[in-house]
Structure 1
Amino acid sequence: MSRIAIILALPAEYNTSSMLRCRAIINAMVELGHSIKCYMPYPDENSKYYSAMLNIKDVEIFRYGKIIKTGSFALATQTKRQSIKSMIKKFAHKAFKKIDVFGATLLYLPERKKISKDINKNDFEYLISFSDPMPAHMIGKYCKRHNAKLKYIQQWGDPLASDTISKTAQPVWLRKIIENSLLRPADRICYVSPFTNDEQKAFFPRHAGKMIFLPTPSLEYNSEKITENNKRLCLGYFGSYNSVARNLLPFYKVAIRTPDVEFFIIGDSDLLLESTANVHVLQRISQEELEVYMKKTDVIICLMNHKGNQIPGKVYHDASSTKDILFIKDGEYGDEIEKFFSKYNHYTFVNNSEDDISKAIVNYKTEGVPVRKPVVEFTALSIAEDLLS
């Protein structure tokens, strides 16, 4: 078995889609018998993504960055006076954010030397960096340069130059240069969408031979714990739905005019949707709380992005359950994505229109909700094996 160094730019305690993916693969590698050391920042316990449960087992942890003291930042912000200097800083930060593609985790980049030195002390065979966030690959690039004998694997959530839902004002040609420099040192580059993989091969032909598609691992579900006999049909959307990426309004409009069906909409958004008697709208909640709502739900909603070919992690995460997934297609890749996933027989496909969504719900009420078999191709063990092969 192998010794593996893994670089993350977020703490494993965060329940983001990317961290769910990373944790599943890391745990699978441990189960396969590999020895893992994870390099990750200290968590912010005030973060809405934070969970006190680490959820990775038998892994050596190397923390970097600053230890964040609970409440200290908020208190300092409240008591600080608004000076001219602070106003200038605020303006500069706002201007920088318009062209920034890496986010706040870019501040971890100076830690790369410390991480690389520790990697050099250990007898590793593999170096793996996971995104998102992307600074993990920037740190990985540095560590590979100073530990050349390691086989370096990158796993990407979203690409950089071809990310169609990015808000950055940075031009594509510049993002392409940055992305090319990140891809160059990798021995293997993995994408979680087959369509992104094909597009990246065309975008970066020099690296095409290193690029592969590997799906996001499904989550482990105990069917007895996530199934409940409901008095009426219940549908649940669990995840972010910012309007720049996804259009949830057709689903919401159908929900509020279908009073005999119960709906849950839980997640971050720039939209302010109102709850009704049968539609329950909540902000992001903990993974433990989410399991309660998951248990009540007969049908899981998965909404595609309305631009680009990236595939939301939920398509894969919930394919290990026996619940039907209402797969709402959107964007120019909708039909191609349906063709790819229809072979797994775990999804009901509809277009993102009020009429199609309404017909699907009527069909659930009259014909019943199909019970699905878990998709074995998305298991974390098989994906971890392929990642290292």
Structure 2
Amino acid sequence: MKILFAVSRPLEINTSASIRNRATIEGLLSLGHDVDLITTEFDQNHPNYDQSLSNSNLSVRYLKLGGIQDIAKFGRKFKAIQPLKNITYMVMKYFEIYDNLKGMANYATKDQIDITDSKYDLIISSSDPKSSHLFISRMFERGLVSNTPWIQIWGDPFLSDITRNNKLLNSKIKKEEKRLFKFANKIIYVSKLTLNEQKKIYPNYAIKMDYAPIPYVKKEIYPNSDINKGILTFLYCGDYSSKIRNIKPLYDAINNSRHKLIICGLSDISLESTDRIKVYPRVSFEKTKEFEKDCDVLVHLSNTMGTQIPGKIYQYSGTNKLILFILDGPKEILLKTFNKYNRYIFADNNKNEIFGKVVRIENKEFENTKFVVGNFSPENIANKIININDK
């Protein structure tokens, strides 16, 4: 099939959504589909710019945005105006329901873009950001396309997004979320928990809704690490805002052990590096893979609330490393979702429980869990997405 894949944030900006989108696209390409990516122009001065996330085999059209994006780029280049940029973003959060890449929707006109029903067999838009869906919805509203099947992939829901702080815009967001659903043939969520919740909130669109998990980017089979060496290295790569994830029990458990922990990600809390623990900001995808290769145990940290599941668990599932799955939030549903794979070492998110599982890892009790979960391969997930559209 000839597929148009739309996402408003370029793949070169290192986020969990970019990694998910890259894996999905590569799965489609591996299945023999022809994929065109349309996105916005990347900024090499962006703090999360990561060239390793691009795909040289992919046909990409980059759209140049003005307005707030020009201010943002100027601010990254000249740090003196950074405070002004921050104030602008804070003000926007109280009035604007979309992200600052929503200007992509302005290109959805016949003068700006050459897209018709005869050009593509399928359109896929993927959040986050939500403006990815806004762009395609404008194409339908303005008559550029009318019959081409459209699949929406939602990393986070709109109204129920736990990262959104301003609740004053709830009614406006709910109305907009329903409007986005109107032209979609299928609405896919990457969490079954989110799918079930969305069906309750929007029963009139439940028939369009389905589930497809996140694919890992690449299968990685590492040489078996020697647990008998005495000191293990644990790795947590991901952001850990205190409003969403509680990393302190893990930090304290490892800090009071003989083992080591590497943490890399953004947060609103400050963790100190110690003799046992090294704390880094968000690092490049390639650096993450280096850490991954050298560690003994990968750590997944669940959200403290909401229905979303951090995408890192799927990336880890593409390796043969031990995975410590720290449970938080809706624990019973998480166990039901992931326990069937016999792949993960589960621990409640408290220091004693985590320390107890560390001791059992030392004793080599979980060596039979070190395998790749093939269900999450890019090809399997891409095929599932395509087949969902045929239902």
Same fold (TM over 0.5): yes
* Matching residue of 1:318: 316
Choose which of 346, 351, 356 in structure 2 pairs with 1:354: 351
Q: Which stretch shows the higher mean deviation, 237-246 or 214-223?
A: 214-223
Instruction: Please report how far the alpha carbon of residue 229 of structure 1 lies from its aligned counterpart in structure 2 after TM superposition.
Output: 4.3
* Matching residue of 1:191: 189
Q: Matches of 1:131 and 1:55 in 2, distance apart?
A: 17
- Secondary structure (helix, strand or coil) at the match of 1:53 reads helix
Please tell me the root mean square deviation across aligned C-alpha atoms, in Å.
Answer: 2.5
Q: Matches of 2:133 and 2:87 in 1, distance apart?
A: 29
Matched, 1:118 2:114: yes
Q: Matches of 1:115 and 1:236 in 2, distance apart?
A: 49
* Matching residue of 1:219: 217
1:170 partner letter: L
* Matching residue of 1:338: 335
Contact 1:26 1:56 in 2 (8 A): no
Instruction: Please report how far the alpha carbon of residue 94 of structure 1 lies from its aligned counterpart in structure 2 after TM superposition.
Output: 2.8
Q: Matches of 2:211 and 2:73 in 1, distance apart?
A: 42
In structure 2, the gaps of 5 or more residues are none
* Matching residue of 1:53: 52
Q: Which stretch shows the higher mean deviation, 202-211 or 230-239?
A: 230-239
* Matching residue of 1:207: 205
Shift of the 57–121 alpha-carbon distance from structure 1 to 2, 3 Å rule, reads farther
Instruction: Please report how far the alpha carbon of residue 254 of structure 1 lies from its aligned counterpart in structure 2 after TM superposition.
Output: 1.3
* Matching residue of 2:243: 244
TM-score (norm 2): 0.90
Shift of the 101–253 alpha-carbon distance from structure 1 to 2, 3 Å rule, reads farther
Q: Matches of 2:118 and 2:45 in 1, distance apart?
A: 33
* Matching residue of 1:104: 100
Shift of the 200–52 alpha-carbon distance from structure 1 to 2, 3 Å rule, reads same
Deviation sequence 1:22-53 (CA, Å, 0-9, x none): 11111111111111111011111122221223
* Matching residue of 1:253: 252
Q: Matches of 1:29 and 1:283 in 2, distance apart?
A: 32
Choose which of 135, 144, 155 in structure 2 pairs with 1:139: 135
Shift of the 244–32 alpha-carbon distance from structure 1 to 2, 3 Å rule, reads same
Deviation sequence 1:45-72 (CA, Å, 0-9, x none): 1222212235424321111024989985
In structure 1, the gaps of 5 or more residues are none
- Secondary structure (helix, strand or coil) at the match of 1:240 reads coil
Shift of the 114–301 alpha-carbon distance from structure 1 to 2, 3 Å rule, reads farther
Identity %: 29
TM-score (norm 1): 0.90
Instruction: Please report how far the alpha carbon of residue 74 of structure 1 lies from its aligned counterpart in structure 2 after TM superposition.
Output: 4.1
Deviation sequence 1:354-373 (CA, Å, 0-9, x none): 11111111111233552422
2:285 partner letter: Q
- Would you say how many aligned residue pairs link Structure 1 and Structure 2? 379
Q: Matches of 1:71 and 1:365 in 2, distance apart?
A: 48
* Matching residue of 1:78: 80
Q: Matches of 1:90 and 1:74 in 2, distance apart?
A: 11
